[in-house]
Structure 1
């Protein structure tokens, strides 16, 4: 993710297979077991009951405001920016005033991501718009299919090749997904499809229900794929741990087949006595993942209709799943897919914040994972307007730390309507909105001048920055610094060659310092504090050449010279 962006070549086109386009399967199973399209869910009418503790993250984000955007901008300043203080000193440790401090952002700490297709990567050359978009516009990717169970087992080489490419190009990776029970999307190996009791063309020899086989194979796969990428090697290069977060089970609210099967119920059968989102088998899967994953790899849930469409059935079940897993220490991140399949499924910024509050109250981090806005009932400009509002609302919420989109052009998107690019890779209006927010409004590119105390302070967005210091005599120093905490900010000291023409010239060590930046060097002993050793050192050295040459910086009584009266004045300060 870099600051400079160029328009991609609209003429370059590629094709990809149907499996990779179906990164998210449109056909879903409702909680009652019937097959329905997501467009056919009835929108529920009414408000969402909210729960939350006073003073929590959840309560802070939904404070009433006549202007939601102004309130969002204020939250962004509070949660997404931190003070960067740069102290410029010379080789003697003396402050350097009037130096120019340029702060140029290099990347966001917040995750902005895109769907990645290993097939599409294989079909494109270096410099192709798809590859350039991944490298230039985003800092994290998720794989539409290649990390799913069946695709990983059938072509691990392809998955690994794309994984290595992502890491070679500075991209983090969100693991999607260890297990997903949606047989229609073909993510399950054929032998497991049969053992789940499913009659599906992706099976091997037909349904042959075997609960133990499902349990053994699925638990084994969770460990296999997590272990594989926890110590990843490819083509002679050792990458170490490369997946920052794993969805252990995807869409449990809608696709509980594994949980049913392990409980002894064939996946196609009704199971009224099983509550998948709070079932002990679900906890077992997550505990198993926790046991085998590196300590710094998070575990996540992910589901649809948990934001879009105001579907209370999904929000309620999802919240119960979140609460259940979080209470047992099994959950770090909550994925909110955000597939807005028609204009009627959109939510207002205020409703979006309320839903985020609802999930955040359970002590988890929130991530939009598969955003897109599709359908013929609204224009691309309307989709762009909604995207901008939704992105800003999500970015402003303290509990979020990622916003990932479905990727590719219209030609490669699962609904032929990618969020950012037309089929010929011309940018859509939403892409311009993304650029303006992420690389302009939320991007630090500024310069300040150091004061008499040699410091300059910038309110910078959290992320990595290049700090370039130039003194009045043309001396330059460049350093790279990361800011990751909005409350603590960051303080750095940049040392330039030579000594300042103005300011004190100390010879002895440790050199006196100016603790309060008022131009007087009360810390005569150089130990960082104002105390009696300062009085003693000044008393012992009042007549020395060093003190007399720097008299204006030790003139504590203000009479224009350095003498015993200044010793008394310093004593009174102590």
Structure 2
């Protein structure tokens, strides 16, 4: 646009000049009249001013919404009060003060977090579109220290009666004024009628929280330079490195085993001085990824398949083993095909997600309005059908999923979890070999104590299941992490608590860490994996939305992927490989001693052992397991 205006100006200037020179003899210098000179100078000044304006506009965003303070409403006050007062601490403008009374507590079980906080809310009319880059900023302080929660809600046109979370975070606020800002790319559909809700929530510490200079800016698509802000990804909570030394020591203790290789000649005598090579083929630990089968047959099928086989040994069908809402009485053919692909491509395990999700929105519409007996009969039939159909193809089943937030617990779960216990027993009747799991969300979530993630309720449900005789073997902990990120020491602390109170193994089933800072994302994901791998309760670690091409995933929209849309690696993928196939991958060689043996420590898993001596070679594969020394005998002949 700027180039177009510039060209038009130059054409106009040339026309004006040609008009002024009409009738004059070429080569003769004529004195220029003062008015003509003034006209020329004025045109140049106007052009320069316009170009300066264009450059400023190019470097600065359009102010889509600079909310008036009176436009914010205090909703769900819960005893809090709001007032507006003048304030000059930061430039001009007014201050919104929220006064929080004594006695407020986190909502139980993280239920209705937004509805349980004192909230300031404004529905802003904007011109935000898919692909735009937006920035929201505000200044805040609190006396005494408190917590501020921010959520941006949009209303996609395709889902006119449903909201979508564009961004949310919380952070600690001190008694000194500080600016907070968030930059986001809008990856959802165009927002309904240009509407976006700006919501502030406040913590439970009695006192005053103050806000001012709230701004929402839209930079449009692909802004250059891209706006950057300083972000405290841990929300003011320290993330010290004090956990690392103990974690590394535990890894050596619980993830490695002794391998004894004994070499003899064809007569059975010790083969002294034989060259021995030990090459790891695979891990005993489950390093997995969730898979969407449509990507295995689309234009990205080859890289999608190759990356899965390169990095992972276990696969979780992300959606295809769930109760099919369109055809609930039949086995999903996509699940059959995907499990066959998993088998044919040499993965060591398939994690089944999920037999029963006790929430209305994940129940097939056909059964939502049935009587209690009809509904439960349908669940029994479905669980029995899928557990029987996929026996031997699935080595772990999430029998139940996200129970603590069930919207109809008496119907869907039963008193004291009695119906859930029955569902576990049905799964065991149909498949005696699979591990049976209860998968739950937000157990490792940390938000500065703003809410209770429901760990006590979760532990109570586990206790009810076990006391009722449910054949539960495993706990699935989803581990979707967003801002503020859970400090790694806190992750280990929570895993310790879960293991101590249940005695059950744990699988990290749906790990995502939403972070747009590539370097920090890589470090955090690497540390989280290290913490999990170091914990004696954890048997596996599965990534959710590992590829940036999963554009419908809120986790990809919030920058949780390990591999970008164009198949280049974010640092998280590189650091993952450096751990899984570097630091935690054994490559050993040596020479047999006087008794013909070679002894070493290796990571648990599958190995190829090769011995060479006296011109002869022997090769054998072996699996090194935990809790015992592994003896391999090779005879050169």
TM range (shorter): 0.5 to 0.7
- Equivalent position SS for 2:310: helix
Match of 1:455 among 588, 591, 597: 597
How much does 1:157 deviate? 1.7
Deviations 1:338-382 (A, max 9, x none): 11122x1x2223221111111112221011000011154xx0211
How much does 1:482 deviate? 0.3
Match of 1:227 among 356, 378, 388: 388
Unmatched tracts of structure 2, length 5 or more: 1-108, 116-162, 171-200, 206-239
1:77 and 1:44 mapped to 2: Cα distance?
A: 42
Contact in 1 for aligned 2:355/2:399 (Cα 8 Å): yes
2:354 and 2:341 mapped to 1: Cα distance?
A: 19
Using the TM superposition, name which of 117-126 and 68-77 deviates more. Answer: 117-126
Give 2:428's aligned residue: 290
How much does 1:334 deviate? 0.6
Residues 1:159 and 2:335 aligned together: yes
- Equivalent position SS for 2:363: coil
Change over 3 Å in CA distance of 1:356–1:408 after alignment to 2: closer
Contact in 2 for aligned 1:31/1:253 (Cα 8 Å): no
- Matched ranges for 1:322-333 at <5 A: 322-327=462-467, 328-333=469-474
1:469 and 1:254 mapped to 2: Cα distance?
A: 57
How much does 1:330 deviate? 2.5
Give 1:385's aligned residue: 523
1:383 and 1:156 mapped to 2: Cα distance?
A: 36
2:477 and 2:168 mapped to 1: Cα distance?
A: 18
Contact in 2 for aligned 1:372/1:419 (Cα 8 Å): yes
Change over 3 Å in CA distance of 1:44–1:253 after alignment to 2: farther
- Matched ranges for 1:27-66 at <5 A: 31=111, 39=168
Which structure is richer in relative contact order (CA contacts within 8 A, separation 6 or more)?
A: 1
Change over 3 Å in CA distance of 1:375–1:450 after alignment to 2: closer
Give 1:314's aligned residue: 454
Contact in 1 for aligned 2:242/2:489 (Cα 8 Å): no
1:349 and 1:69 mapped to 2: Cα distance?
A: 9
1:71 and 1:44 mapped to 2: Cα distance?
A: 34
Deviations 1:298-332 (A, max 9, x none): 11111111002255342111111222223434311
How much does 1:99 deviate? 0.8
Deviations 1:123-147 (A, max 9, x none): 2576x12101111211111111100
- Matched ranges for 1:53-452 at <5 A: 67-124=242-299, 128-150=302-324, 153=328, 156-171=332-347, 172-184=349-361, 187-195=362-370, 210-230=371-391, 241-257=392-408, 259-262=409-412, 278-294=416-432, 296-309=433-446, 312-327=452-467, 328-342=469-483, 344=484, 346-361=485-500, 362-376=502-516, 379-412=517-550, 414-415=553-554, 416=556, 417-452=559-594
Change over 3 Å in CA distance of 1:159–1:387 after alignment to 2: same
Deviations 1:438-460 (A, max 9, x none): 00000011101111110001201
Structure 1 length-normalised TM: 0.66
Contact in 1 for aligned 2:611/2:618 (Cα 8 Å): yes
- Equivalent position SS for 2:465: helix
2:248 and 2:546 mapped to 1: Cα distance?
A: 30
1:387 and 1:43 mapped to 2: Cα distance?
A: 29
Contact in 1 for aligned 2:273/2:596 (Cα 8 Å): yes
How much does 1:155 deviate? 7.0
- Equivalent position SS for 1:321: helix
- Equivalent position SS for 2:471: coil
Computing the radius of gyration over CA atoms, which structure comes out larger, 1 or 2?
A: 2
- Equivalent position SS for 1:150: coil
Give 1:19's aligned residue: none
Deviations 1:401-444 (A, max 9, x none): 10001034222051223431111111111001100000000001
How much does 1:45 deviate? 9.1
Residues 1:488 and 2:488 aligned together: no
Structure 2 length-normalised TM: 0.60
